[in-house]
Copies of this chain bind each other. A is one copy, B any other.
Amino acid sequence: MFKALAHPMRIFMLEKLRDKSWCVCELAAEAGIPKSAASKHLSQLKDAGLVEDEKFGTRVEYTLTAPCVLDLAACAEGTVLSSRKKQLGL
């Protein structure tokens, strides 16, 4: 699961999914990457249990499912920020 989170693009996608569901082509356009890459990233997030997909015709919508991921991200942010301070000026 941490491997799934260990890529800026996938973090970006999770942040997009925080507010609403997105289909692959929308996320690809937002991120400025080809559909194939977006599909593969989303597939990894799905394997990690962080998102779910649902088909609507030709579209596949991805939704954020893991409820604790946002808390997790907040924890990560706080940790990183406080360690930055220490590493610089204390």
Contact = CB atoms under 8 A, between A and B. Distances in A.
Given A1-B80, A6-B3, A86-B49, A72 B69 contact: no
Interface string A58-90: 000000011011011001101110111011000
Number of copies: 2
B79 A1 contact: yes
A77 B33 CA distance: 31
A50 interface: yes
For chain A, the bracket of interface size reads: 20 to 34
A89 to B, nearest CB: 15
A11 interface: yes
Contacts of A71: 75
